């Protein structure tokens, strides 16, 4: 007889059914035993009467999480015995036969308890953790999201192409995972950090619109929003596209659809703003601003050029953020924010509070009446508010206030979990200053087109080089970078020049990117694209702050799979065969 799922039992009243699943709980009344049987659709109650000797004996030895199969009659529950808390609460199955398909030892974690085990144990016993309704939900929703994405992409005539997992180590970017080659001793494959070069070669190969839900591999330390080892990207590329706006407009509807129809959230605005990188840094102190709240950075350098307050006078830049109701912050809380500011490089954290029409602050006595008036006017402060200052190098001020902006928003709960705020950050600098190595280096990836084409690359001084913009864009969702893309460079001359400005000769470029350069000689169409970090986007859509919560089998923060014990040692024979 066919297995009936818990969710279908309601339609089988007064019929005999077979149900299978896990024992969620057993309630033994001595002469009568109830079992809550769980399958992937829900829970149904089994009743075992002592008259059924065989079944009753089985029921007595059953424990939580045993795997069982029951045959019985679906019966409407008597009046007053219904359980409104479960979907099948109006019926129960009167068991005739009960089979223990598999026993279970006492579980090392209690998946169905309010007390959630710590993450390390949950990861070690992930197969038990996955039985939790929340994890079941996550995996199903992730599959649904992938389905929405595939439908959309196919509707736009994108072709899904899978690209090699065994690829080449690439010199730029993240650390690679290396795979020793057996057939070619001493040589290595690498797992791709992204299918970047392959997708550009697909453009040369005449694929008009490419996409792939691609596994990407990076050997870099993880974060709460960044998985160790492997993660998935919606990787896309379009040929005969010469401007980033075409790409951005292609994907605006998909991300909106995922935010609203899929995740059931509200968009902060239908129009998705395009914000130049410099503007984002100056207004929000970040290239991935959370736009669900305001608190923009206010420029005050001019106000304090001739101030008596030395800290402000000597600073390259003075900016501030206005914290509404900031006077509610305790001294201790302000100390906490001061520590955060210091951790970002600030010397301290000056502030002014407004109470009863007066500016109260340890620094107020250093400020003139005109300065105080200008402050109030520029920030819009009113009673109850507090202004927090950053005074330092411009980059430090932006970094410190950008961090504080986010921290204050957390404190005052300004990040509405039901709202999605999207924006595109555009016009990234092509190069940036590497302070550690004291030289100009690539800001993003070297494969994008400089804005203004090859002429834009006529730069000799560091200053001129740093002023070059890349046709490069990131999409930001609620303060998370969820997408990065660019108009690609399909012209070998430009690629040589892009590297040349950093002092790399043509030989270097040919050594590193030979295949792509070669391909570009034979008719490469202009092309542009982007890649969405789908795990991170999914995390935010699901209101999770830890990306491991939305993945079936994540590695922990040390890159270890504590369930499978990987990485692990291998046989000497295996190593020998690989020549290592």
At 43, which helix (H) or strand (E)? strand 42-48
Choice from 172, 261, 383, 493 touching RNA (CB under 7 A): 172
Pairing type for strands 351-355 and 266-267 reads unpaired
Considering the complex, what minimum distance in angstroms separates the CB of residue 91 from RNA?
9
Choice from 324, 444, 465, 497 touching RNA (CB under 7 A): 444
CA nearest neighbour of 478 among 403, 413, 419: 419
Please report whether residue 221 would count as binding RNA according to CB under 7 A.
yes
Helix axes 394-411, 277-284, angle to 10 degrees: 60
Choice from 220, 271, 316, 493 touching RNA (CB under 7 A): 220
Q: CB under 7 A: which stretch of 4-12, 107-115, 271-279, 414-422 binds RNA?
A: 107-115
Please report whether residue 556 would count as binding RNA according to CB under 7 A.
yes
Query: What is the distance between the alpha carbons of residues 100 and 48, in angstroms, rounded to a whole number?
Result: 14
Q: CB under 7 A: which stretch of 148-156, 188-196, 267-275, 311-319 binds RNA?
A: 188-196
Considering the complex, what minimum distance in angstroms separates the CB of residue 172 from RNA?
4
The smaller minimum CB distance to RNA, of residues 438 and 576, is found at 438
Burial of 568 from C-beta contacts in 10 A (0-12 / 13-18 / 19+): exposed
Choice from 16, 49, 181, 395 touching RNA (CB under 7 A): 49
Please report whether residue 116 would count as binding RNA according to CB under 7 A.
yes
Contacts of 452 by beta carbon, 8 Å cutoff, 6+ apart: 468, 469
Q: Alpha helix locations (H) across 69-132?
A: 119-124, 126-129
Please report whether residue 52 would count as binding RNA according to CB under 7 A.
no
Please report whether residue 79 would count as binding RNA according to CB under 7 A.
no
Per-residue x/- marks for RNA, 560-579, CB under 7 A?
x-------------------
The smaller minimum CB distance to RNA, of residues 46 and 322, is found at 46
- Say if residues 419 and 292 touch (Cβ distance below 8 Å): yes
Per-residue x/- marks for RNA, 239-278, CB under 7 A?
----------------------------------------
Q: How many CB atoms lie within 10 A of CB 201?
A: 19
Please report whether residue 410 would count as binding RNA according to CB under 7 A.
no
Between the two ends of the chain, the Cα-to-Cα distance in Å is: 56
Please report whether residue 395 would count as binding RNA according to CB under 7 A.
no
Please give the DSSP secondary-structure letter assigned to residue 579. Answer: T
At 577, which helix (H) or strand (E)? helix 572-578
CA nearest neighbour of 448 among 529, 557, 554: 529
Q: How many CB atoms lie within 10 A of CB 432?
A: 14
Burial of 574 from C-beta contacts in 10 A (0-12 / 13-18 / 19+): exposed
Please report whether residue 10 would count as binding RNA according to CB under 7 A.
no
Please report whether residue 30 would count as binding RNA according to CB under 7 A.
yes
The smaller minimum CB distance to RNA, of residues 405 and 548, is found at 548
The smaller minimum CB distance to RNA, of residues 386 and 484, is found at 484
Query: What is the distance between the alpha carbons of residues 294 and 385, in angstroms, rounded to a whole number?
Result: 14
Choice from 32, 57, 178, 310 touching RNA (CB under 7 A): 32
Choice from 96, 170, 181, 338 touching RNA (CB under 7 A): 170
Contacts of 171 by beta carbon, 8 Å cutoff, 6+ apart: 512
Considering the complex, what minimum distance in angstroms separates the CB of residue 235 from RNA?
10
Query: What is the distance between the alpha carbons of residues 305 and 301, in angstroms, rounded to a whole number?
Result: 6
Considering the complex, what minimum distance in angstroms separates the CB of residue 578 from RNA?
25
Choice from 16, 20, 110, 260 touching RNA (CB under 7 A): 110
- Say if residues 210 and 202 touch (Cβ distance below 8 Å): yes
Query: What is the distance between the alpha carbons of residues 116 and 132, in angstroms, rounded to a whole number?
Result: 10
Considering the complex, what minimum distance in angstroms separates the CB of residue 135 from RNA?
16
Positions in 295-354 near RNA (CB under 7 A): 343
Q: Which residues bind RNA (CB under 7 A)?
A: 25, 27-32, 34, 36, 45, 47, 49-51, 63-64, 77-78, 81-83, 85-86, 89, 92, 106-110, 113-121, 170, 172-175, 193-194, 196, 218, 220-226, 343, 436, 441-447, 546, 548, 556-558, 560
């Amino acid at each position: 007889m066919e297995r009936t799922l818990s969710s279908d039992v309601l339609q089988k009243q007064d019929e005999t059914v077979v149900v299978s699943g896990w024992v969620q709980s057993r309630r033994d009344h001595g002469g009568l035993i109830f079992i809550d049987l769980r399958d992937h659709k829900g829970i149904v109650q089994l009743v075992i009467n002592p008259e059924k000797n065989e079944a009753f004996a089985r029921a007595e030895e059953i424990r939580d999480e045993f795997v069982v199969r029951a045959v019985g009659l679906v019966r409407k529950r008597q009046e007053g015995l219904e359980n409104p808390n479960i979907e099948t609460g109006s019926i129960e199955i009167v068991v005739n036969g009960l089979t223990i398909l598999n026993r279970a030892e006492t579980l090392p974690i209690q998946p169905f308890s309010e007390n959630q085990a710590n993450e390390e144990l949950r990861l070690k016993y992930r197969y038990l953790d996955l039985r939790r309704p929340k994890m079941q939900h996550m995996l199903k929703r992730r599959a649904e999201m992938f389905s929405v994405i595939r439908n959309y992409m196919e509707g736009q005539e994108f072709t899904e192409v899978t690209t090699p997992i065994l690829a080449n180590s690439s010199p730029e970017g993240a650390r690679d995972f290396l795979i020793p080659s057996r057939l070619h001793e001493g040589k290595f494959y690498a797992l791709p950090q992204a299918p970047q070069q392959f997708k550009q070669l697909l453009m040369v190969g005449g694929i008009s619109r490419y996409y792939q839900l691609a596994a990407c591999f990076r050997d870099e330390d993880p974060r709460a929003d960044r998985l160790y080892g492997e993660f998935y990207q919606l990787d896309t590329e379009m040929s005969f596209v010469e401007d980033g706006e075409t790409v951005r407009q292609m994907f605006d509807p998909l991300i909106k659809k995922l935010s609203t129809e899929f995740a059931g959230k509200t968009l902060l605005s239908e129009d998705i703003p395009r914000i130049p990188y410099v503007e984002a840094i100056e207004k929000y102190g970040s290239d991935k601003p959370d736009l669900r709240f305001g608190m923009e950075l206010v420029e005050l350098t001019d106000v304090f050029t001739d101030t008596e307050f030395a800290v402000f006078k000597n600073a390259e830049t003075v900016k501030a953020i206005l914290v509404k109701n900031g006077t509610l912050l305790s001294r201790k809380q302000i100390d906490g924010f001061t520590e955060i500011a210091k951790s970002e490089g600030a010397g301290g954290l000056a502030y002014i509070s407004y109470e009863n029409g007066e500016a109260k602050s340890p620094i107020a006595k250093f400020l003139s009446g005109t300065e105080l008036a200008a402050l109030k006017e520029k920030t819009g402060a009113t009673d109850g508010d507090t202004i927090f200052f950053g005074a330092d190098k411009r980059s430090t001020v932006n970094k410190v206030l950008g961090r504080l902006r986010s921290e204050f928003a957390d404190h005052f709960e300004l990040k509405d979990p039901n709202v999605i705020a999207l924006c595109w950050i555009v016009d990234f600098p092509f190069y940036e200053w590497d302070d550690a190595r004291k030289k100009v280096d690539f800001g993003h990836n070297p494969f994008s087109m400089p804005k203004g084409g090859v002429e834009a690359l006529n730069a000799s001084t560091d200053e001129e080089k740093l002023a070059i913009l890349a046709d490069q864009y990131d999409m930001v969702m609620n303060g998370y970078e969820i997408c990065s893309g660019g108009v690609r460079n399909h012209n070998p001359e430009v690629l040589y020049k892009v590297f040349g400005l950093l002092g790399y000769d043509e030989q270097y470029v040919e050594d590193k990117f030979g295949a792509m350069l070669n391909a570009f000689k034979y008719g490469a169409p202009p092309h542009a694209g982007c890649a969405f970090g789908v795990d991170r986007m999914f995390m935010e859509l699901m209101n999770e702050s830890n990306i491991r919560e939305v993945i079936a089998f994540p590695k922990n923060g040390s890159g270890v799979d504590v369930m499978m014990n990987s990485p692990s040692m291998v046989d000497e024979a295996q190593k020998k065969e690989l020549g290592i």
